[in-house]
Chains A and B, each alone.
Chain A
């Protein structure tokens, strides 16, 4: 397995505004942050605080109006369209609504990101390995509709890992799941981080999930209002204590 520590992410002065009728809403307002390679960072905040927008900007599916995003010394915000697509191939994305292709089997959904690049490796084998890694061995031929929400999210995670990403962006990955399944998904992500070496940036509003991350960045009205390193002087296993301390 890949033992690299993951990507370093640096955002500087990011601004993103949307037009809503005659008004301009600022979704991200001068956000700067640095994320160390291999860390698991939780983005928290109320609905509309800018969590998803920030993730999309780092994942290059949303353009910044101002500011820069640099991932592993590559300034993402300066990339042109083709380079952006190549960049996105190295980033894993997990969505709250899974966004699986309903007509494809589980295995084919996992292969889907590399489908246009056939011939560059044994994709079905790797997809099966990833499905086994997310606990779905034997369900390769199932259709998404035949899976539970947690299983669908696992398929989405396996799909995100298909391109061997060094950066995994997860937008409310447990938002549609019950707490037990949500906890299992997070276990899976952390395990994958340990095994594959990735930086994970996840947006969540569940304190139990955020509390298990290395770092917590709280957003409000598009601004970073709190940035806490949860690993300093704490027992990483004591989730309850962390959550209490962070008023989650």
Chain B
């Protein structure tokens, strides 16, 4: 029997080779395409794991603080700490730490905003006329923020420049309200409406005070805006060309500096500094905070409030770590005017404004500076008693949460809030005389409340920087799997539409100096969590008992998302929730997901903006991994089905070709099972050969297409080829075995039962297809599977993308696998098209005599080609439409709906399938002229 099989194969070498090639193509296609899906899957899971190594895996927040929006959409907003002032007790924190598997539990307690003056350098040197003995430089400021979109003018300030000597009050020594000691060693009468101010020494020896309007004229300090604040500074132009002033007036050095080459005014801008408390050790492990310290020292676990006596009172000083970046987008521009010959010396405080404002001046240039410049200049002075950096904690403002409303288009609209009440920023009786930030008068998105600090009239609370850290030097993580780290990073809000982008000049919107503003700057001040009870002691803040706002938890042995890691994290998260009862979100495998936010217009000119903010979509990694598994399985099955069909077609055609031969064997007395065994034996032998060849082919093909084909997968080709061959050969073998010998001896093309007069070439083509329904269906079926496969692949990709896009990680993964998906889909359709070409070719072979007859009766080759072309077109249409219908059914099952884009893809795929079939028909049509007409007619 084996010998017979071998002789059969060798005797019809051409047919055997054709079948071998068919099995080879199907098997190699299977191996390479399944390799492609595996490669794609590995690429995805690899990307996911690499990209999800984040600072923490679990976010724990006080119970009930997860907003409905977050819960509904599986998101964590980037500003989740906003408005979150405590709620977790230290006991609960201890419970979290005690949970098995918790590697790091890093608590953060948000405390509130301390309005702090940032001395912003404004260079006035160019405005000074050095020839003049006395002159006043008027500075007309405009406050600018939010990429220049918000702006407001402020009251002019004055710098009096004189060549006369100036004496300064000695504020470091005891003085009373009768006389004030001065730097010339004498005391001068205290003037109620002027304050302890510098005095100009006139050439005749007299000295006149240069009054400070801020001292008595404006009223309740601390309740007015910095726009309304103004003052008169005195600077002496020394004979050597340098400038001299009292400490704090000139910028560019420490606060003790009194002389400078340039007249750089330190223009104090009121900036809200957000204060938060952390556990230094946990923060070090979480993000490497201590490693990022660039000046001074890190905060220590034992840092606490330092009390020092100050006269009758006491200073309570909170050590903090200050950030090197201010994160606030705010600037000052100034128009400079020189008032020559004008002197405010000796002018009573009440008359100052009238005197100076009424004086004509000469334009003397412009100046500008930013909060960032001021912060840098401040840090440049160095840490220390005479340098940087200190601020008040008499009034600490806590701004509330943002409430969102849905816009009809799905974007989020933060609810507008009126400005926070001015007295929350400070008042004389609270010991905070600083003006409130000018943007505090802007509309906002948050309500405000004071941090309930103890009311002790003899204590002055302040913060003092013991160190400076650079947020850029913190441990970095992939942008794709980033978790919210608003402790250290500013929110990113870019224009979502062309108008907003144009308004923002292509830059992202950054936090302004409005504590009630939509975007919050990260805490600029970090202190030790252990000092919080000490700070709040005696007050009524609920943070006394539950100071912690959130705990970021990293789970041991988790280095990015994998199914195993996810399970570990889930178990830890469950335990934390169970033990503490807090809101727990697993952030492992989350990825930034862009959300559109409609920011209402501001009161200072900022138009309404549409912004894109990256929120953290939870569970992105698991969705991606599940989706890629589903897609891989779908692709695998599709590839298998197409390959079996392709092979079935080839084997079936080979058996059909041998029908007369098999009939002869049956006539010679071969039993049906022997005939069946002969067919299967031949197919098995060819399958084995094709499988072995496929092993050799799969490697170079895989290498060429950048697909990982390992030995196991390559060797899989042999059993796959055998199995495919057997499966595909079974049906034709059974048919051949069962067929009656006489039936097999009949011409291979049966007559059509359904007859319709062909009136044209397309009609005749249709008749030709109908007369051999089995083969037609096989060919159309192959294409249908190809088209259905492509549609389902598109749907799978769509579903895959639907499951994962909307997050940065998902978008990246989706892009990375698009090539592999497209290749699998195109290869599947090409296999289908090859099957159609095969059908058409076999059709021509079977009907060669008929075609020869038509040619003998005068049909041109062109007419014959058109006939074959129409057959291909009809076959393509049948296959493509059936495939599109099947594909849409599968797609609907896979996606759960039929989005218009998918319908469009399906229509395009069906059209492409028809086109490919027509192209495939060209091959057999091109062979028509080689038909041996005479021999065919004579043979028949």
Residues of A that sit less than 8 Å from B by CB: 52-53, 56, 59, 61-62, 81-82, 85-86, 88-91, 93, 95, 97, 99, 101-105, 107-108, 112-113, 115-116, 118, 143-145, 159-160, 162-163, 171
Q: A89–B857 Cα gap in the complex (Å)?
A: 6
CB-CB < 8 A to B849: which residues of A?
99
CB distance from B483 to the nearest CB of A (A): 70
A57's nearest neighbour on chain B, judged by CB, is B934
24 residue pairs bridging A and B, Cβ less than 8 Å apart? A56-B934, A56-B938, A61-B933, A61-B934, A62-B934, A85-B859, A86-B860, A91-B858, A93-B856, A95-B853, A95-B856, A95-B937, A99-B853, A99-B937, A101-B854, A102-B750, A104-B755, A104-B767, A108-B757, A112-B857, A115-B758, A115-B761, A116-B863, A163-B857
Given A61-B934, A116-B863, 4 other A-B residues pairs in contact with their CB atoms under 8 A: A86-B858, A86-B860, A88-B855, A113-B858
CB-CB < 8 A to B859: which residues of A?
85, 113, 116
Q: Please report the total number of B residues contacting A with Cβ < 8 Å.
A: 37
CB-CB < 8 A to A59: which residues of B?
856
The reply to whether B866 and A116 contact each other, CB–CB distance below 8 Å, is yes
Annotate B576-605 by CB proximity to A: 1 below 8 A, 0 otherwise: 000000000000000000000000000000
CB-CB < 8 A to A171: which residues of B?
937-938
Q: A61-B934, A89-B858 are in contact. Are A103 and B853 (CB under 8 A)?
A: no
List of 3 A-B pairs having minimum Cβ-Cβ separation, nearest first: A89-B858, A116-B863, A113-B857
The reply to whether B768 and A163 contact each other, CB–CB distance below 8 Å, is no
The reply to whether B929 and A102 contact each other, CB–CB distance below 8 Å, is no
The reply to whether B937 and A81 contact each other, CB–CB distance below 8 Å, is no
CB-CB < 8 A to B761: which residues of A?
115-116
Between A85, A93, A143, A159, the greatest number of chain B beta carbons within 10 A of the residue's beta carbon is seen for A85
8 Å CB contact of B751 from A53, A81, A103, A108: A103
8 Å CB contact of B861 from A81, A91, A112: A81
CB-CB < 8 A to B866: which residues of A?
116
8 Å CB contact of A103 from B755, B854, B861: B755
CB-CB < 8 A to B934: which residues of A?
52-53, 56, 61-62
Q: A144–B863 Cα gap in the complex (Å)?
A: 23
B3 is an interface residue with CB less than 8 A from chain A: no
CB-CB < 8 A to A97: which residues of B?
940
CB distance from A20 to the nearest CB of B (A): 12
CB distance from A121 to the nearest CB of B (A): 14
Q: A107–B758 Cα gap in the complex (Å)?
A: 10
Q: A35–B265 Cα gap in the complex (Å)?
A: 123
The reply to whether B857 and A160 contact each other, CB–CB distance below 8 Å, is yes
CB-CB < 8 A to A81: which residues of B?
860-861, 929
Q: A61-B856, A62-B934, A116-B860 are in contact. Are A145 and B751 (CB under 8 A)?
A: yes
CB-CB < 8 A to A103: which residues of B?
749, 751-752, 755, 767-768, 770-771
B853's nearest neighbour on chain A, judged by CB, is A99
CB-CB < 8 A to B860: which residues of A?
81-82, 85-86, 116
CB distance from B546 to the nearest CB of A (A): 88
The reply to whether B856 and A108 contact each other, CB–CB distance below 8 Å, is no
The reply to whether A99 and B752 contact each other, CB–CB distance below 8 Å, is no
Q: A52–B940 Cα gap in the complex (Å)?
A: 13
CB distance from A142 to the nearest CB of B (A): 10
The reply to whether A163 and B858 contact each other, CB–CB distance below 8 Å, is yes
B849's nearest neighbour on chain A, judged by CB, is A99
The reply to whether A115 and B760 contact each other, CB–CB distance below 8 Å, is yes
Q: A86–B757 Cα gap in the complex (Å)?
A: 25
CB-CB < 8 A to B178: which residues of A?
none
8 Å CB contact of A102 from B751, B764, B770, B861: B751
CB distance from A64 to the nearest CB of B (A): 12
Q: A115-B764, A116-B866, A145-B751 are in contact. Are A52 and B857 (CB under 8 A)?
A: no
B759 is an interface residue with CB less than 8 A from chain A: yes
CB-CB < 8 A to A163: which residues of B?
857-858
CB-CB < 8 A to B749: which residues of A?
102-103
The reply to whether B855 and A61 contact each other, CB–CB distance below 8 Å, is yes
8 Å CB contact of A113 from B750, B751, B854, B861: B854
Q: A145–B858 Cα gap in the complex (Å)?
A: 24
B940's nearest neighbour on chain A, judged by CB, is A97
B863's nearest neighbour on chain A, judged by CB, is A116
CB-CB < 8 A to B774: which residues of A?
none
Q: A86–B105 Cα gap in the complex (Å)?
A: 92
The reply to whether A99 and B850 contact each other, CB–CB distance below 8 Å, is yes
CB distance from A213 to the nearest CB of B (A): 22
Q: A99–B933 Cα gap in the complex (Å)?
A: 12
The reply to whether B751 and A143 contact each other, CB–CB distance below 8 Å, is yes
Annotate B526-554 by CB proximity to A: 1 below 8 A, 0 otherwise: 00000000000000000000000000000
CB distance from A173 to the nearest CB of B (A): 13
CB-CB < 8 A to A90: which residues of B?
858
B671 is an interface residue with CB less than 8 A from chain A: no
Annotate B853-875 by CB proximity to A: 1 below 8 A, 0 otherwise: 11111111111001000000000
B747's nearest neighbour on chain A, judged by CB, is A102
B854's nearest neighbour on chain A, judged by CB, is A112
CB-CB < 8 A to A144: which residues of B?
751
CB distance from A236 to the nearest CB of B (A): 31
Q: A102–B770 Cα gap in the complex (Å)?
A: 12
CB-CB < 8 A to A93: which residues of B?
856-857
Q: A97–B849 Cα gap in the complex (Å)?
A: 11
The reply to whether A61 and B937 contact each other, CB–CB distance below 8 Å, is yes
Q: A82–B863 Cα gap in the complex (Å)?
A: 11
B757's nearest neighbour on chain A, judged by CB, is A108
CB distance from B770 to the nearest CB of A (A): 7
B861's nearest neighbour on chain A, judged by CB, is A81
CB distance from A138 to the nearest CB of B (A): 16
Q: A81–B855 Cα gap in the complex (Å)?
A: 11
The reply to whether A88 and B757 contact each other, CB–CB distance below 8 Å, is no
CB distance from A196 to the nearest CB of B (A): 17
CB-CB < 8 A to A86: which residues of B?
858, 860
CB-CB < 8 A to B861: which residues of A?
81, 85
8 Å CB contact of A88 from B747, B758, B759, B856: B856
Q: A116–B859 Cα gap in the complex (Å)?
A: 7
Q: A243–B862 Cα gap in the complex (Å)?
A: 46
Q: A53–B937 Cα gap in the complex (Å)?
A: 11
CB-CB < 8 A to B771: which residues of A?
102-103
B767's nearest neighbour on chain A, judged by CB, is A103
CB distance from B638 to the nearest CB of A (A): 35
CB distance from A239 to the nearest CB of B (A): 29
CB distance from A158 to the nearest CB of B (A): 12
A114's nearest neighbour on chain B, judged by CB, is B858
8 Å CB contact of B938 from A52, A112, A116, A118: A52
The reply to whether A118 and B760 contact each other, CB–CB distance below 8 Å, is yes
CB-CB < 8 A to A82: which residues of B?
860, 862
Q: A52–B749 Cα gap in the complex (Å)?
A: 26
Q: A163–B757 Cα gap in the complex (Å)?
A: 19
CB-CB < 8 A to A105: which residues of B?
755, 757
B764's nearest neighbour on chain A, judged by CB, is A115
Q: A12–B855 Cα gap in the complex (Å)?
A: 25
CB distance from A237 to the nearest CB of B (A): 34
The reply to whether A159 and B857 contact each other, CB–CB distance below 8 Å, is yes
Q: A130–B857 Cα gap in the complex (Å)?
A: 16
B938's nearest neighbour on chain A, judged by CB, is A52
Between A52, A101, A105, A143, the greatest number of chain B beta carbons within 10 A of the residue's beta carbon is seen for A101
CB-CB < 8 A to B856: which residues of A?
59, 61, 88, 93, 95, 99
Q: A160–B856 Cα gap in the complex (Å)?
A: 10
Q: A144–B771 Cα gap in the complex (Å)?
A: 14
CB-CB < 8 A to B747: which residues of A?
102
CB-CB < 8 A to B850: which residues of A?
99, 101
Q: A101–B759 Cα gap in the complex (Å)?
A: 15
Name the interface residues of B738-793: CB closer than 8 Å to any CB of A. 747, 749-752, 755, 757-761, 764, 767-768, 770-771
The reply to whether A104 and B937 contact each other, CB–CB distance below 8 Å, is no
CB distance from B19 to the nearest CB of A (A): 25
Q: A86–B855 Cα gap in the complex (Å)?
A: 10
Name the interface residues of B829-882: CB closer than 8 Å to any CB of A. 849-850, 852-863, 866
Q: A102–B771 Cα gap in the complex (Å)?
A: 9
